[in-house]
Structure 1
Amino acid sequence: MTRSRHAARVPSAVREIFDETVARTDAFCLRHLDEEYADLCATLAAKLARKRPSPLVRGDRGIWAAGIVYTIGRVNFLADPNSKPYLRTEDLARLLEVKQTTMTNKGRVIMDTLDIGLMDPAFSRRDMIDRNPMVWLLQIDGLLVDARHLPEAIQVELHRRGLIPYVPAQRADGVDQT
């Protein structure tokens, strides 16, 4: 997913703020984390930009960028030494050049505003989605089933309906084929 795709869905009234915020998150993520983090940050920034009224129009854009990176990091356990990439929260704040409490407070506001929880599939890295059984459990005719074990045709339909993030039967070598 390209970040320009996110920009296409951002209202023109907040496009400049969105662009500046994403430029900051991109610069940070591409230097200290990776492309997947950059894309997830752009996804989150776009969602904040589309909210009415957009919270991005108030406050320092650098702090919003820091809050966005922190939020995506929190959802994906960036501060867990077993995670790759790994970055401690205090190091994240230092590299983003903001106070840790300011960054974490902004992250909490973002999570509360958009009702984002830990391991939220919409903001999870691919490896987190793959390991999160809750993403794949669906109730069909009163039974809980793991969508990864259903026939490919059913997986395709579930993906089309937005019930699963990708079609596991079509995934080869870690690349989403949908």
Structure 2
Amino acid sequence: MRKSKSKAEQMHVPKKNRQLFEQIVELIDALCDAHLNENYRELCEHMAGEICRTHLPLSSSSPAAWAGGIVHAIGWVNFLHDPKQSPHMTSVQLAEGFGVSKGTMTAKSKIIRDKFELMQLDPDWCLPELLIDNPLVWMFDVDGLIMDIRTASRDVQQEAYEMGLIPFIPADMQKPESESGPDIKIIEFPSSKSKASKPKDNVPNLFEELEE
């Protein structure tokens, strides 16, 4: 019988970093169980896999420092510090939760944010529950004009989803239950592997790609 792959193997973490990865994930899971939620856990575990595949000087700090930095960075993207958000934690509370100083944690967070060019509401690292209201996910260049694809027809949204440009079909999410019925499938956000692009020098031209 084939042995199932470990989480580190599934994320293609190099063997030299697998023990550290497992230690970081264990700390992240404990904090998410106590204070955050499954969506935070998923994003933070994925980020742990990402940093363990980089050339960052991981051995220079403790697993707790990196775990704290990861959760702080993902929390920064998703406004975890905002009291209006649920869940909500301050930087001091996060640092205490990992048993590290706030300065150590925020230093690691900055390394991670700089390495992966994170921004607030980053489409690649945004919580699923914030995606539908995140304008960075839905804006596309249409003949030089910026269009919110949430206002487009479902057919256009479907093609954009199939091309990997958006994480789910907004029209399905917005249909009242009485109209959608039990056969309507809400397409789930595919973790942080979404191909929704960050707005860099330009915005993707959706119609040009659809016509190819």
Q: TM-score range by the shorter chain?
A: 0.7 to 0.9
- Structure 2 match to 1:151: 153
TM-score between the two structures when normalised by the length of structure 1: 0.86
- State whether residues 48 and 55 of structure 1, in contact with CA within 8 Å, keep that contact through their aligned partners in structure 2: no
- Structure 1 match to 2:126: 124
> Partners in 2 of 1:71 and 1:121 — Cα distance?
14
- Answering whether residue 64 of structure 2 is matched by residue 62 of structure 1, we say yes
Aligned partner (choices 10, 13, 20) of residue 8 of structure 1: 10
Unmatched 5+ stretches in structure 1? none
- CA-CA distance at 1:104 after TM superposition: 0.7
Aligned partner (choices 181, 187, 199) of residue 177 of structure 1: 187
Q: Deviations over 1:25-54 (max 9, x none)?
A: 111112111111101101211221222x25
> Partners in 1 of 2:20 and 2:160 — Cα distance?
35
Which amino acid counterpart does residue 37 of structure 1 have in structure 2?
Y
- State whether residues 150 and 170 of structure 2, in contact with CA within 8 Å, keep that contact through their aligned partners in structure 1: yes
- CA-CA distance at 1:154 after TM superposition: 2.0
Aligned partner (choices 141, 144, 151) of residue 142 of structure 1: 144
Larger Rg: 2
- Answering whether residue 14 of structure 2 is matched by residue 24 of structure 1, we say no
- Answering whether residue 49 of structure 2 is matched by residue 46 of structure 1, we say yes
Matched residue SS, 1:82? coil
Q: Deviations over 1:96-143 (max 9, x none)?
A: 211011111110011001111111111111232222212211112222
Aligned partner (choices 75, 78, 86) of residue 77 of structure 2: 75
Q: Which structure shows the bigger proportion of residues in helix conformation?
A: 1
> Partners in 1 of 2:36 and 2:20 — Cα distance?
23
Which amino acid counterpart does residue 25 of structure 1 have in structure 2?
I
Gap change, CA 1:5 and 1:50, over 3 Å in 2: same
Which amino acid counterpart does residue 171 of structure 2 have in structure 1?
A
- CA-CA distance at 1:7 after TM superposition: 4.8
Matched residue SS, 1:16? helix
Gap change, CA 1:157 and 1:5, over 3 Å in 2: farther
> Partners in 1 of 2:57 and 2:153 — Cα distance?
43
Aligned partner (choices 89, 92, 109) of residue 91 of structure 2: 89
Percent identical among aligned pairs is 34
- State whether residues 75 and 123 of structure 1, in contact with CA within 8 Å, keep that contact through their aligned partners in structure 2: yes
Gap change, CA 1:170 and 1:5, over 3 Å in 2: farther
Gap change, CA 1:58 and 1:161, over 3 Å in 2: farther
Gap change, CA 1:55 and 1:123, over 3 Å in 2: farther
Q: How many residues align?
A: 173
- CA-CA distance at 1:5 after TM superposition: 6.7
Gap change, CA 1:107 and 1:177, over 3 Å in 2: same
Which amino acid counterpart does residue 139 of structure 1 have in structure 2?
D
- CA-CA distance at 1:23 after TM superposition: 1.6
Unmatched 5+ stretches in structure 2? 1-5, 178-184, 189-212
- State whether residues 10 and 49 of structure 1, in contact with CA within 8 Å, keep that contact through their aligned partners in structure 2: no
- CA-CA distance at 1:6 after TM superposition: 7.3
- CA-CA distance at 1:166 after TM superposition: 1.4
